[in-house]
Structure 1
């Protein structure tokens, strides 16, 4: 039997939160649900209090200063306070399906497995949200990797070394052993207001032995609506490049501390970081920085790096 803590960051989620919580409560494996209220401007705090009063499995947490610190900091508070053997994550506007932990029940019988992930589906809750989502992500209704993998294969796939694997799986589909998170001191980068989940997943896939679970059908659903932050960032806009720069800066700083990380991967991470750093600049400064960096690092002349570095802001 799995004993699971579900961590739910809550910010302006009054419309969706109860459905998310009930979707977690349907699973006997879920022993506690941590609602980390992040200074919402709607009635989310009152709803959290109500839910916690009605069910002994539900706990309301706030940051020490009761301020707004973002999803990364909220999830870190959840990691700090969680008491169960396993950790799962859920966004307040998403929900679990009945098969959410089916693969975990079997896969965690293997002691070397430290984390399991699956596929997430999409539910469009508004026409505006649907339009913005499809404009940015095209056809995507099922976010998943393309074939089964485990251990180093997962990290290599997410880094693009294993062609066709897919560069992302959703945090809502991840279940991981709490002791291994603590042992490896894994945390979300609180400086990242967007992409902190992607950053966390890639680093985790390096440090822990992850295995794909159900990847051909959804184990959770993300709700797409008018206020999804990720869809508000226009592709190749100045905000887009700034967010990507911060993501790869985080990954680059982390990579320099990993002695066992291959030199090739370290170089790849560094080049992506440099490309996005250049992309955040404008005018003559951008081109001058690109040329001077290319003199010492000719790989930046390759199409993929040159495209990122020199793409004009829209």
Structure 2
């Protein structure tokens, strides 16, 4: 097999301290055909750092949105995919970095044309003691991974929490054939400011054949620092429950419009949405929501009452 041509897409926002490490971690692989930096109107000096990186290496390509404004991670990754010329797409956040084994599994698995995507495990790196103190309770030292190897048809229901303890994977550990992205229609939903990556992975796992790569050790590291995007959630600017309601509303909207999705899965997705809507509601509104859906969506509520994760939000 000839060397893979992988386009590594890195959205850049407020990451002048970290982007060089991210880029260098991707440059170590001969499979990295190009690194596409999409600078998203950073308030720091990230644009100038990116310019110097691009000037010094022909594999690094720098772009901005046509209007030079900030558009968020979803639109920025979409632009990166549009600009990519490699046969495969990999993603990397600007404050994260790849491990030396990042594409070891891909080099073998993609020899099979039926393999449309490969996912691996992600580790955690704390950039400071303050960051570790602030976020250790969230990330600890755990791998973000699917707990055991599954055939592609089990990935979608597994990620939806329909198969018990399944686990999950993130964009940093995902490599996808660019040709397979045509199956997904809309790539990243730009109106979702949070969880647009999760929503994309749900749809991707439904439409394409995703295979496990290295899931028992990290192929990339999530960089945790005081200015991570997750601080928007923890600081109270965006409540976690609200962001999850918006996520599951989007997933439900898509699922109900997709005729090939089974009714069991559609009901499960409705139940997940109802669960987060109830969790986010004040005490009086909880029962108003339940009463509403007992009339309009009795089957979903009834099935939810048999689920402990659903019931715990009622009180």
1:307 and 2:278 matched? no
Question: Residues 235-285 of structure 1, C-alpha deviation per residue, up to 9 Å, x if partnerless?
Answer: 999711110011101100110122221111100101211232343433533
Question: Residues 109-167 of structure 1, C-alpha deviation per residue, up to 9 Å, x if partnerless?
Answer: 11100000101111111223212322234x4431111101231121122122323221x
Please show how residues 178-189 of structure 1 align to structure 2 within 5 Å: 178-189=178-189
CA contact (8 A) 2:184 2:203 kept: no
Equivalent of 1:115, from 106, 114, 117? Answer: 117
Mapped to 2, the partners of 1:238 and 1:36 lie a distance apart of: 25
State the 1:293 CA deviation: 2.0
Alignment gaps of 5+ in structure 2: none
CA contact (8 A) 1:132 1:232 kept: no
* RMSD (Å), alpha carbons: 2.0
Alignment gaps of 5+ in structure 1: none
Mapped to 1, the partners of 2:159 and 2:262 lie a distance apart of: 15
Equivalent of 1:48, from 50, 71, 86? Answer: 50
CA contact (8 A) 1:244 1:276 kept: yes
Structure 1 counterpart of 2:14: 12
Q: Secondary structure, in 3 states, of the residue corresponding to 1:142?
A: coil
Structure 2 counterpart of 1:176: 176
Please show how residues 1-314 of structure 1 align to structure 2 within 5 Å: 1-137=3-139, 139-166=140-167, 168-234=168-234, 239-282=239-282, 284-294=284-294, 296=298, 297-302=301-306, 303-308=308-313, 310=314
TM-score when scaled to structure 2? 0.92
Change beyond 3 A, Cα 1:127–1:290: farther
CA contact (8 A) 1:8 1:35 kept: yes
Q: Secondary structure, in 3 states, of the residue corresponding to 2:33?
A: strand
CA contact (8 A) 1:136 1:231 kept: no
Question: Residues 41-100 of structure 1, C-alpha deviation per residue, up to 9 Å, x if partnerless?
Answer: 000011111111111111111112111111111001111111110000000001111111
Change beyond 3 A, Cα 1:235–1:41: closer
Q: Secondary structure, in 3 states, of the residue corresponding to 1:222?
A: strand
Change beyond 3 A, Cα 1:250–1:140: farther
CA contact (8 A) 1:186 1:204 kept: no
